[in-house]
């Protein structure tokens, strides 16, 4: 088990990457059987100035994200053996009940991200921010992101107000993403129902609700029939699928009551998607995930910032003792290359 003081020292509050000794980097790389793992981090956040200005003092904002600059990401990537990171917007997202403002903010974030990719094409990819639940605006932004900005994929959050991914209202968007064989990164949020529950001191919305909302969104895609209806969308689910792997028996049981949507069961559909390692580098979470999906579906993700540094995440995965060298090659790089072959 990892000691708390060591984990705390390696946490990625902005600037902490500068404090990680080179010997720790070498240790983490050697433990995975490679001195140059060339990892691909699929869960890596950025903070465009327009977004920072908009989200100040909003609920679910982690202040560390507002202090981000590109140099922090590059420094952490260099120290942690990360060849490329696919950047995305994190909580509180960009939807604040104003359609025009959300469209403007999505465009500003995506153009900033595209410039960063253009400046560092081998180091960064982009999950374009989408103005969902505005369906018409999202369809236009998908067109712009792919046809003008040449994005690597799109990013959603798990829920918008009282609607989750998989809601029938969003099917025009899913249809277009399916047509484009899109890679879709889904980041959790805390749903309106549950972000202000006062059930224990010190508990923040993300402590429980992020993992739960990921599961709700996965259920939405599965039980709505969207997983079968749009088979060419390639979803990446954050944090090893949230609580879904732990609830797998219940979800399979529910799937038997939805034979039209899930004729082969919940696992058969959700097992084709990808799941990142951010905040899920303990043995229990990973063992549960490995019961649900094959090793080919697990991808490296840090949640930087404010998640773990890439060095700390790699070290934590090695310390679980679950993975062989060939497994780590899949997780570090090879699985993600199937989604993002331009980084080969």
Q: Report the CATH number at residue 265.
A: 3.20.20.140
DSSP E strands: which ranges in 60-213?
A: 82-88, 124-129, 153-157, 159-160, 163-164, 183-187
pLDDT number for residue 32:
40
> Is the pLDDT confidence value at 196 over 80?
no
Closest to 218 in 3D by CA, of 247, 193, 194: 247
Distance CA 201, CA 92 (A): 22
> Is the pLDDT confidence value at 155 over 90?
yes
Reduce the DSSP state of residue 341 to 3 states and report it. helix
Distance CA 89, CA 123 (A): 17
The pLDDT > 70 percentage for the chain reads 89
On whether the CB atoms of residues 88 and 307 are closer than 8 A, the answer is no
Q: 44: domain range?
A: 4-343
Mean pLDDT, the chain, rounded, equals 89
pLDDT number for residue 23:
37
pLDDT number for residue 198:
67
Q: Pick 176 or 10 by higher pLDDT.
A: 176
pLDDT number for residue 9:
33
pLDDT number for residue 4:
34
Domains: count for the chain: 1
């Amino acid at each position: 088990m990892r000691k708390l003081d060591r984990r705390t020292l390696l946490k990625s509050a902005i600037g902490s990457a500068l404090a990680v000794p080179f010997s720790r980097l070498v240790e983490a790389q050697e433990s995975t059987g490679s001195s140059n793992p060339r990892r691909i981090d699929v869960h890596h956040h950025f903070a465009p100035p327009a977004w920072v200005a908009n989200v100040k003092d909003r609920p679910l904002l982690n202040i560390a994200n507002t202090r981000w600059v590109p140099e922090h990401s590059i420094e952490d990537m260099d120290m942690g053996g990360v060849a490329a990171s696919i950047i995305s917007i994190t909580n509180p997202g960009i939807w604040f009940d104003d359609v025009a403002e959300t469209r403007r903010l999505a465009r500003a974030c995506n153009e900033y991200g595209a410039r960063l990719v253009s400046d560092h094409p081998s180091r960064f990819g982009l999950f374009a921010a989408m103005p969902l639940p505005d369906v018409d605006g999202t369809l236009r932004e998908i067109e712009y992101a792919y046809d003008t900005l040449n994005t690597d994929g799109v990013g959603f959050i798990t829920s918008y107000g009282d609607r989750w991914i998989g809601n029938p209202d969003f099917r025009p968007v899913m249809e277009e993403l399916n047509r484009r064989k899109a890679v879709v990164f889904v980041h959790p949020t805390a749903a309106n129902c549950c972000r202000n529950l006062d059930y224990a001191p010190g508990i923040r919305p993300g402590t429980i609700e992020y993992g739960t909302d990921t599961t709700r969104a996965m259920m939405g895609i599965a039980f709505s029939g969207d997983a079968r209806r749009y088979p060419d969308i390639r979803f990446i689910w954050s944090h090893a699928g949230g609580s879904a792997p732990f609830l797998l028996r219940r979800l399979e049981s529910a799937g038997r009551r939805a034979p039209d949507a899930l004729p082969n069961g919940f696992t058969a559909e959700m097992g084709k998607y990808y799941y990142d390692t951010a905040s899920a580098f303990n043995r229990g979470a990973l063992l549960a995930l490995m019961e649900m999906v094959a090793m080919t579906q697990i991808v490296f993700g840090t949640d930087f910032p404010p998640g773990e540094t890439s060095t700390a995440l790699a070290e934590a995965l090695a310390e679980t003792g679950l993975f062989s060298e060939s497994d780590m090659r899949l997780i570090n790089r090879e699985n993600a290359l199937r989604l993002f072959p331009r980084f080969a």
